[in-house]
Amino acid sequence: MNFVISDLLPVLPEVFVLTMACVILIADLMIRQNDRLVTYMLVQLTLLGCSLIIVGTHENGVVYAFHNMLVDDLMSDILKLFTCLALSMMLVYSRLYLTVRDMFTGEFMVLVLFAMLGMMVMISANHFLTLYLGLELLSLSLYTMVALKRDSAISIEAAMKYFVLGALASSLLLYGMSMLYGATGTLELGAVTKAITSGAAEKNLLVFGLVFVVSGLAFKLGVVPFHMWVPDVYQGAPTAITMLIGSAPKLAAFAFVARILVEGLQPLVQHWSGMLIILAIASMAVGNISAIAQTNIKRMFAYSTITHMGFMLLGLLSGNVEGYGASMFYTVVYVIMSLGAFGMIMLLSREGFEADTLDDFKGLSRRSPWLAFLMLLLMFSMAGVPPTVGFYAKFSVLNAVVQTGHIWLAVIAVLFSLVGAFYYLRIVKLMYFDAPESHTPIAVDSDAALLLSVNGLGVLLLGLLPNALMSACSASVQLSLLLH
């Protein structure tokens, strides 16, 4: 493979992040333990610089690099920008939480950047090998971060489960990719589509490969019946790491699924849409019903995530531009809501105390009316209550499903949403109608409190004015996935 200098421009954000990760890794060796704020600021500047590079190098249309192994298009640029924003918010929320637990270290910062690099590669991949490379870089970084608190038995156990099941998912994905390669003779997504459309691919081998690929994708998304790692990892990992796992990687996961199924295997839509229907219904059923029985809020949000990923799949199985755009919009909205919810848990936590049970939210309106109001907005949005953005996200997905003629599927989704509303509204009930179990003052960082206010009010504002973000998602999907 010959190196072409023009290939560097589309991947300049990835090169910048990799360079800064290496620089921060070395610079951290010279920084005293008490001066980790320097490392933190370097990481935040890296995220800002990456965002500026993404905007500065954006070009209209679709640009390929490294012999079509990577692609730079509108969808990848939007998802990368939201990835930078999500990671920046995660760092702000978690700074105090990590500091009091002696986890605010240079290793954590560098692992965040390597995880980000993996996400960016996944978002821009146009080849099975680059897709898998980005996925493994992200996964290995997350496995390590879950186990970062080495004196916590529950964190080590969660990391082991995550690693073993993640390896199983990767093997399924690789096996499926090898079958697709055997059937089509290529690993490039566009060439795979052409081989299938022309009839040159081996049909039986294609379908078998598709089953393994969808199973591997379902593992990575954490949808039923491949969801067994999600509750244990969410509960066992430190809350800052749980926030990371539950936010930005979902953007990369959407891109990963969209690149493979929509861009690479679109001619097989009649096969994979049926599988996605089963996964979506099972996820909404198991996620919502299991969440009701939880007393640990992180575990409850884990089952909530399974439900939300099922909803995201509803948009993808529609097989049209509106559905794909609605699915992308839903993913972005979910990430914003998830950041706010986990940010609230960390704000209520303090040294030696984790606010990770439902009882910890009792009487929050008496201790801090403003924080209770923000949590109310976030819970209403997750439940899909108007006028929050969660309602519009669910409505757009359901509308896309109805347009495909699957009215029965939309009815099932609505019914399970009503079930899900119970455990979200239960938190509101605890905050406003129960007496607090503790009257300890809530001490928060001013920057984290300000960001949480913006986060909570943003959920309301986006619900009132959702069209700009929805239009951007639909346009990016149409230009990126369907016209090249």
H helix intervals, 101-257: 106-124, 128-146, 153-184, 189-198, 203-221, 229-236, 239-245, 248-257
pLDDT, tens only, 217-274: 888 888 888 888 888 888 888 888 999 998 889 999 999 888 888 888 888 888 888 8
Burial letters 460-477, b for 16+ CB under 10 A, else e: bebbeebeebbebbbebb
Query: In the prediction, which pLDDT does 16 show?
Result: 92
Can you give the pLDDT at residue 50?
A: 92
Lowest mean pLDDT among 31-40, 108-117, 279-288, 372-381: 31-40
CA distances from 243 to 252, 322, 337, 428 (A): 15, 29, 11, 21
pLDDT of residue 113 exceeding 90:
yes
Task: Please name which of 333, 226, 348, 253 lies closest in space to residue 297, comparing C-alpha atoms.
Answer: 348
- How far apart CA 151 and CA 361 sit, in angstroms, is 27
**What pLDDT does residue 377 have?**
92
Residue the block writes with tokens 């979902």: 250
**Mind listing the pLDDT tens digit for each residue in 261-309?**
888 888 888 888 888 899 999 999 999 999 898 888 989 999 999 999 9
Check residue 1 and report its DSSP letter.
-
How far is the first Cα of the chain from the last one, in angstroms, to the nearest whole number?
23
Would you tell me how many other CB atoms lie within 10 Å of the CB of residue 230? 25
Q: Is-contact 303 238, C-beta < 8 A?
A: no
**Residue 378: which residues within 8 A CB-CB, separation 6 or more?**
337, 340, 341, 344, 455, 456, 459
The counts of H helices and E strands in the chain are 20, 2
Buried (b) or exposed (e) across 321-349, using 16+ Cβ within 10 A? Answer: bbbbbbbbbbbbbbbbbbbbbbbbbbbbb
Enter the tokens of residue 62. Answer: 């679709």
d(CA 423, CA 417): 11
Question: What's the mean pLDDT when you consider all of the chain?
Answer: 86
State pLDDT tens for residues 27-69.
888 877 667 788 889 999 999 999 999 988 887 778 888 888 8
Domain-by-domain residue ranges, the chain?
5-481
